[in-house]
């Protein structure tokens, strides 16, 4: 039994674990079948009562992970499950495609480099390369970067969120000031996003961590959608002198990874977002 941060032991939750197990087994069962399954067949495969299986399936239908078909109410894998699988494959593809580019970029700039992958609510770091001279905070992989106060977050807002939906994505609460440099004014943020769409990169000048600067460039997939970004972290003592060099190399790196993802002209994709705005 593991301990919590306070040192107290976490209470076991066998019912929650059992439910998660049944959900995963149900998805695996439906994904492995070529033919739609009846409710009784699913219940038997999960070793659970038919009534309980029906409740579980209704929840999975709600999130489009399975779909009912025909008058006999058979069940098949739904578009949500297919989309989830495609996102996993795309994530693995971008990490594999980007790794050598990240290593080259870290060596060329002498700074730490991060690969971000687009998630539903922002961009999360999925890989990183630490340069010998890179002195920066280590950001945990898998954590979504704050959208309004980081360069990956602003790439997400600029190249994934339609301007008319910005407020709904950010929510009604005031934007949090992580440092005294954080952008908390929505009008100012909108101007920044317009600049990012026009020039193809985003800056973070001590907005999330004082003394830490970042430059992020978007990675696009073959359909012209935002797939992720490359971020170079730079300490304040080197930011002004290395900024232009790092921007140039980061744009070249994002262009190369996007090319590996099927993008013919990275610059044209960037410019298309300015037109949409």
Q: Do domains 14-77 and 86-276 have the same CATH topology?
A: no
Its pTM stands at 0.69
pLDDT tens string 215-248: 999 999 988 999 999 999 999 999 999 999 999 9
Q: How far apart are the first and last CA of the chain?
A: 52
CA neighbor of 219 nearest in space, from 260, 167, 174, 172: 260
Query: What confidence tier does 33 reach under pLDDT thresholds 50, 70, 90?
Result: confident
CATH of domain 86-276: 3.30.450.40
pLDDT tens for 57-113 read: 988 888 778 888 876 678 888 777 765 665 555 556 888 889 999 999 999 999 999
- For the chain, the domains span 14-77, 86-276
84 φ, ψ (degrees, to nearest 5): -60, -45
CATH of 14-77 given 3.30.70.250, 1.10.10.10, 1.10.274.100, 1.10.8.60: 1.10.10.10
Give every CB contact of residue 147 below 8 A, 6+ residues apart in sequence: 121, 122, 153, 154, 156, 157, 169, 170
Q: What average pLDDT is seen over the chain?
A: 85
């Amino acid at each position: 039994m593991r301990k919590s941060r306070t040192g107290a032991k976490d209470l076991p939750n066998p019912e929650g674990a059992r439910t998660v197990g049944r959900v995963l087994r149900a998805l695996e069962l439906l994904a492995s079948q070529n033919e739609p399954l009846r409710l009784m067949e699913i219940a038997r495969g999960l070793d659970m009562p038919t009534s309980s299986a029906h409740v579980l399936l209704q929840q999975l239908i709600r999130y489009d992970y399975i779909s009912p078909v025909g008058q006999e109410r058979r069940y098949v894998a739904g578009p949500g499950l297919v989309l989830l699988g495609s996102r996993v494959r795309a994530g693995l593809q971008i990490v594999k495609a980007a790794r050598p580019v990240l290593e080259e970029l870290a060596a060329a700039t002498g700074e730490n480099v991060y690969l971000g992958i687009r998630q539903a609510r922002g961009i999360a770091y999925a890989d990183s390369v630490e340069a010998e001279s890179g002195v920066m905070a280590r950001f945990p992989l898998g954590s979504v970067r704050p959208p309004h106060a980081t360069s990956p977050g602003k790439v997400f807002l600029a190249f994934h969120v339609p301007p008319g939906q910005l407020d709904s994505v950010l929510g009604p609460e005031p934007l949090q000031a992580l440092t005294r440099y954080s952008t908390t004014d929505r009008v100012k943020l909108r101007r920044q996003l317009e600049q990012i769409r026009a020039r193809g990169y985003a800056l973070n000048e001590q907005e999330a961590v004082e003394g830490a600067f970042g430059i992020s460039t978007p990675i696009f997939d073959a359909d012209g959608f935002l797939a992720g970004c490359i971020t170079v972290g730079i300490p304040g003592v080197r930011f002004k002198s290395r900024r232009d060099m790092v921007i140039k190399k980061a744009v070249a790196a994002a262009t190369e990874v996007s090319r590996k993802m099927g993008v013919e002209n990275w610059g044209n994709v960037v410019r298309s977002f300015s037109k949409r705005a």
